[in-house]
């Protein structure tokens, strides 16, 4: 059960402006659309994708590190990892299974004979967008298990965007489409409360000492 008393206690340590900002941002947050990044070697690309997730209101990001295990580049993420929930996986199989179990369709962002251009793609169910490396693309496992394929239309000689650019273009387009729809895309009331508590704790210096003090009072 959610600890409302703890949230009320901790919110006394942050400003009213901060509390209002959390409420405003949470109204735009979604888990209906999510992102999965498969074995991206350059950590600045993963960090940039997380930054786009945060900007466009995507609450969850899934990072597969089967081959390449890198820490996030905080200079590029600019704190996005504080506000986005990052789920890590040691295999593509476990990531896909977890998302499918949670009701997501798997959409591979890659040119494919059965692909759909971005402006024709319609969100009508929970969607996980998979991104691979610019060099190798997505694995055969993702391609074989995908429920659909999505491509950004291009008119030049270059055949692909950098992963972080692709993610930003797709998320900007689909987040606008999602928020104009009648779908139940927003976080639940319980999820909003949980994130308020999480973000409040991350905003307080010496949070461990304050939590210990709270325990003595209760």
**Residue 49: CATH number of its domain:** 3.40.1280.10
What is the pLDDT at residue 39?
A: 75
Q: What is the pLDDT of residue 41?
A: 58
- Residue with more model confidence, 5 or 71: 5
Task: Give the confidence band of 111 by pLDDT, cuts at 50, 70, 90.
Answer: confident
Number of domains in the chain: 1
Residue-level pLDDT at 57:
97
Segment 3-20 mean pLDDT = 96
At 130 the pLDDT is 97
Question: Is residue 5 assigned to a domain?
Answer: no
Percent of the chain whose pLDDT exceeds 90: 70
Q: Has residue 198 got a pLDDT over 60?
A: yes
Whether 16 is covered by a domain: the verdict is no
In degrees and rounded to multiples of 5, residue 36 shows phi and psi of -125, 130
Q: What is the mean predicted confidence (pLDDT) over 121-140?
A: 89
- Is residue 3 included in any domain, yes or no? no
Task: Tally the C-alpha atoms within 13 A of residue 127's C-alpha that lie toward its C-beta.
Answer: 24
Please, which residues bridge with residue 105 across strands? 127
Specify the range with the lowest mean pLDDT, choosing from 46-50, 94-98, 113-117. Answer: 113-117
For residue 77, pLDDT beyond 50: no
On whether residue 44 sits in a domain, the answer given is: yes
**pLDDT (0 to 100) of residue 100:** 98
Q: What residues contact 58, with CB distance under 8 A and at least 6 apart?
A: 30, 33, 34, 35, 52, 84, 171, 175
204 belongs to a structural domain: no
Q: DSSP letters along 37-71, please?
A: EE--S-HHHHHHHHHHHHHTTB-EEEEE-SS----
Q: Is residue 38 part of a domain?
A: yes
Residue 72 placed within a domain = yes
Flag whether 18 is in a domain: no
Strand partners, 88: 63
Q: Which pTM was predicted?
A: 0.89
Banded pLDDT at 67 (limits 50, 70, 90): low
What does the pLDDT average to over 127-156?
88
> What's the average model confidence in pLDDT over 157-168?
79
Domain range for 38: 30-196
Q: 């999602």: which residue's tokens?
A: 178
């Amino acid at each position: 059960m959610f600890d409302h008393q703890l949230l009320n206690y901790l919110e006394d340590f942050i400003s009213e402006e901060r509390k209002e900002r959390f409420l405003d941002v949470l109204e735009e947050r979604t888990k209906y659309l999510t992102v999965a990044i498969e074995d991206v070697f350059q950590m600045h690309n993963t960090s940039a994708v997380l930054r786009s997730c945060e900007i466009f209101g995507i609450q969850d990001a899934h990072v597969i590190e089967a081959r390449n295990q890198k820490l996030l580049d905080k200079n590029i993420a600019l704190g996005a990892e504080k506000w986005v929930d990052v789920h890590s996986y040691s295999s593509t199989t476990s990531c896909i299974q977890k998302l499918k179990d949670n009701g997501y369709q798997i959409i591979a962002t890659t040119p494919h004979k059965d692909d759909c251009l971005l402006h024709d793609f319609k969100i009508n169910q929970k969607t996980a967008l998979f991104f691979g490396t610019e060099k190798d693309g997505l694995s055969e496992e993702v391609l074989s298990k995908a429920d659909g394929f999505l491509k950004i239309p291009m008119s030049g000689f270059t055949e692909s965007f950098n992963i972080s650019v692709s993610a930003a273009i797709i998320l900007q387009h689909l987040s606008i489409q999602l928020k104009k729809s009648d779908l139940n895309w927003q976080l639940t009331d319980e999820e909003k409360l949980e994130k308020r508590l999480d973000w409040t704790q991350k905003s307080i210096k010496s949070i461990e000492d304050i939590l210990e003090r709270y325990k003595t009072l209760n």
